[in-house]
Amino acid sequence: MPKDKTLLSLSLIFLTIALILYVGYVYAQPLPTVTIHGVTFQVAVCQGEQKTSPVFYEGEIACIKAIPPVGGVTIDVQVDLIHPTAGRITPMARKTLTLTSDTTLTEASYKIQPGDPEGDYIFRISVWKNGELREGTLTFTVQKKETTSWLTWLIIPVLIAVVALGGYIYLTRRKEQQLQSQAVSSPTAVSSAITPSVGAVSEGTQVYGLQGKTIVVRTPTGETVTVAAKFVGPGGKIIPITSLPQTFGREDFRGIADESSLRVISRRHFTVSYDYHNGTFLIEDAGSTNGTLLNGEEIRGKGPVPLKDGDTVSPAGVLQLKFTTGAI
């Protein structure tokens, strides 16, 4: 199961990275800006470290930074704050400014008070240049620190736990299905050289012809006998025996067994033949990797053994086939 654990670990690592990037995207949004008369205005912090998102908390001071065009500019500026409940506040009355470099307008500021509600706050900026008035707005958000921290530290572990649990359940069920499909004795390599046993098919017995759903076999003495047999698989699906001897393998059961079962069935798994002298069918494991069960007993390495009407053959222990004599 090391491979499954590795896949689960990699999934968790990628999930964690994705969540970190997502949180970074949500909480590190670009600061809002607006350009009026060639001057770029931006939400800033009057004291402390500059922010990476337009979210402010109690005690912080939101203000405006003015970035003039190359060569500087002289303008008249007025800043009004639209408060969610208090309405319009004017932190900076109309004032003439000569800007030659980036300047923080400390007068155009607002300190977040303990009673301020959460929500969006708007700086409305009015700029006059050569008597022409233009306006723009900057929006910032006020939040409670506890809310942000609680969401950040709770959502990520919960999501990781949910995905980890889902991955564990998926991999556990997948492993159980694999174990069920491999419910046979430990696979071991078997020599392809199997010693013939007494009662095996006579060397001269051969298929003479296929007439309908029966097989006519002829012995070395020229005598013939007509036989018919088939396997009945899950759902009543019939697998006819069309020649003797006939070897069955993985491709003969495609469409009858699922892919996990087919993977443990060998390309050449078992052979059905006919003993003319005794008038019986025989079955022999064809050197398969995972063995063949006849009525629940392993026949791998035992050579040809009698196969009777009603017997159950199970290649690799993963597919139940009922052997039935008689025409289809």
Low-confidence ranges of the chain (pLDDT < 50): 1-2, 147-148, 182-212
Secondary structure of the chain in HEC code, one letter for each residue: CHHHHHHHHHHHHHHHHHHHHHHHHHHCCCCCEEEECCEEEEEEECCCCCCCCCEECCCCEEEEEEECCCCCEEEEEEEEEEECCCEEEEEEEEEEEEECCCEEEEEEEEECCCCCCCEEEEEEEEEEECCEEEEEEEEEEECCHHHHHHHHHHHHHHHHHHHHHHHHHHHHHHHHHHHHHCCCCCCCCCCCCCCCCCCCCCCCCEEEEEECCEEEEECCCCCEEEECEEEECHHHCEEECCCCCEEECHHHHECCECHHHHCCCCCCCEEEEEECCCCEEEEEECCCCCCEEECCEECCCCCCEEECCCCEEEECCCCCEEEEECCC
In a domain, 152, yes or no: no
Domain that holds residue 41: 31-143
What is the domain-level CATH number for residue 53?
A: 2.60.40.3880
Of 82, 39, 42, 43, the C-alpha closest to 62 is 43
| Predicted confidence (pLDDT) per residue in 286-326, tens digit | 999 999 999 999 999 999 999 999 999 999 999 999 999 87
Q: Which of 143, 160, 192 is the last residue of a domain?
A: 143
Residue 216 is predicted with a pLDDT of: 81
Of 3, 16, 318, 317, the C-alpha closest to 174 is 3
What are the angstrom distances between the C-alpha of 82 and each of 45, 90, 121, 140?
Answer: 18, 9, 6, 11
In a domain, 195, yes or no: no
In a domain, 6, yes or no: no
| Predicted confidence (pLDDT) per residue in 1-30, tens digit | 445 555 556 666 666 666 666 555 555 567
Q: Which of 104, 127, 143 is the last residue of a domain?
A: 143
Residue 199: count of CB within 10 angstroms of its CB: 14
Residue 5 is predicted with a pLDDT of: 55
Q: Which of 125, 143, 161 is the last residue of a domain?
A: 143
What is the domain-level CATH number for residue 302?
A: 2.60.200.20
Residue 163 is predicted with a pLDDT of: 73
